[in-house]
Amino acid sequence: MTTLSQLLDQVRAAISDSEPLCIVGGNSKRHLGREPAGSPIEVADYAGVVEYEPTELVVSVRAGTTVRDLQEILAGEGQTLACDPPEFDGNATIGGSLACSQSGPSRPWYGSIRDHVLGVRLINGKGEHLRFGGQVMKNVAGYDVSRLQAGAMGTYGLLTEVTLKVLPKPDSSMTVRRRIDANEAIRAMNEISMTPTPLTGACWCDGDMYLRLSGPGTVVEAAASGLEGERLAHSAAFWTALRDQASPFFESAKDLWRFSVRSNSLHSKPQNDWLIDWGGAQRWLAGQHDGDELENISASSGGEVTRNRGGDRNAEGLPSLSGAKRALLMRMKQAFDPAGVFNPGRLYSWM
């Protein structure tokens, strides 16, 4: 069992020795970002629920708590962390999921993990344990340092505790599948998203579009009756595999790119291997491609592309930045981690 004081001691020692640290939770997202460097600081054992008040729809957990354990605890009260982050064989932690901004197939309708964050505690690069945000739904006191951590991959501090908003778990779900090409699917997913339908998933892969509806039985039934396609009797496994990036598309992809784009943007490079999720707003491309070409495509689709898996991990993997933004991110790094001990080079080679 790791204690907070052990984590603090290790960070303080690293600061005084100028020894870089590599923050490790469940080690389920080691494929993300650039090559990890530094001596590991293990957070996985700093786990457990700090406070859970179901009537408040709020839970606080230590950062090493796994997503799976938390979801089980919440399910016991009929609740769920609705952004449904990948569990990655049960190893993914809440701290890591927030740091890497991981959300599941329901993200367009329930929001991302950052949308569910109410507050955090973190150790900054001065070795101080600080609290930002809180346990209430609305809080605008001070800058939003909690949600800033989403996507920072630990470079702005080591998360020790996260407070999240939770929601009632829907009574039932139903999935409708329809054979359709990618262009048609993008159009169909956007069209249905314009209507008040209880959608919680909209994905296209391998020539099929999958629409998931969730809510009370009568509501789901009424919405499904208006949809064309085949109702799937057992669909939970499909959505779990999609969430955990473990479906055949992901299993066979050695190199993987992730696009975040305007949901109705045109389908590009159609001869390639794509999986389209989030109603068109998140698109996965498998295989080796020219990074500049992909950046051009993402820019014309109102979005960005990130290398997710494979490729040269010593090269930059995140979207390229303007000089001004790069300078700002670096000044922010100085503000949180002046000695540069947390995950150096993991996000950008220069930070």
Partner 1 sequence: MFREFVEENFVLSNTESKRPFECDGLSVYKEMPRLVVMPGSTEQVQKAMRLCQRHDVPVVVRGAGTGLSGGALPHADGVLLSLTRLSRIIEIDPEARLARVQPGVRNLEISEASDAHGLFYAPDPSSQIACSIGGNVAENAGGVHCLKYGLTVHNVLQITIVTVDGEILTVGNEGLDSAGPDLMALMIGSEGMLGVVTEITVKLLPKPSHCQVVLASFDDIESAGDAVSAVIADGIVPAGFEMMDRSAIRAAEAYAHAGYDTNAAALLLCELDGTAEEVQAEIGKVVTVFEKYRASSVHVSRDEEERALYWKGRKSAFPAIGRISPDYYCMDGTIPRRMLSRVLSGIDQLSTEFDLRVANVFHAGDGNMHPLILFDESKPGELEKTEAFGAKILELCVEVGGCITGEHGVGVEKLQQMLIQFNDPELAQLNAVKDAWDPQGLLNPGKGVPTLKRCQEYRSL
| Contact set for partner 1, span 309-348 (CB under 8 A) | 318-319, 322, 324-325, 328-329, 331-332, 334-336, 347-348
Comparison of 39 and 300: residue with beta carbon closer to partner 1? 300
Could you tell me how far CA 92 lies from the centroid of its own chain? 11
Task: Give the shortest CB-64-to-partner 1 separation in angstroms.
Answer: 21
Interface stretch with partner 1, choices 19-27, 36-44, 125-133, 288-296 (CB under 8 A): 125-133
Q: Supply the minimum distance, in Å, between the C-beta of residue 279 and partner 1.
A: 9
- The verdict on 120 binding partner 1 (CB under 8 A) reads no
Binding to partner 1, residues 268-287 (CB under 8 A): 278, 281-282
- In the block, tokens 């950046």 appear at 295
216: its two tokens? 């009370």
347 secondary structure, DSSP code: S
Answer yes or no whether residue 123 interacts with partner 1 by CB under 8 A. Answer: no
* Least gap, CB of 38 to partner 1 (angstroms): 19
Q: CB 45 → partner 1: shortest distance, Å?
A: 25
Tell me the two tokens of residue 287.
């295989």
Residue identified by tokens 């009260």 is 77
| Binding residues for partner 1 restricted to 142-181, rule: CB under 8 A | 142-152, 155-156, 167-168
For partner 1, the binding residues in 52-81 under the rule CB under 8 A are 53-58, 78
For 335, phi and psi rounded to 5 degrees?
A: -70, -35
> Residue 150 Cβ, how far from partner 1 at the closest point, in Å?
4
On whether the CB atoms of residues 283 and 263 are closer than 8 A, the answer is: no
Q: How far apart are CA 288 and CA 279, in angstroms?
A: 25
Among 37, 75, 137, 266, which residue sits at the site for partner 1 (rule: CB under 8 A)? 137
Segment contacting partner 1 by CB under 8 A, of 67-75, 111-119, 266-274, 287-295: 111-119
User: Considering all CA atoms of the chain, what is the largest pairwise distance in Å, rounded to the nearest integer?
Assistant: 65
CA distance 236 to 248: 15
Residues in region 190-229 near partner 1 by CB under 8 A: 190-191, 193-198, 215-216, 218-219, 222-223
| Of the residues 19, 72, 89, 128, which one makes contact with partner 1 according to CB under 8 A | 128
CA dist 163 → 9, 79, 92 (Å):
24, 15, 17
CA 146 to each of CA 108, 117, 351: distance values in angstroms, whole numbers, following the listed order? 21, 7, 20
Kindly state the tokens that stand for 322: 């303007």
Size of the site for partner 1 (CB under 8 A): 87
d(CA 131, CA 128): 10
| Residue found under tokens 């000044």 | 331
Among 115, 184, 255, 295, binds partner 1 (CB under 8 A): 115
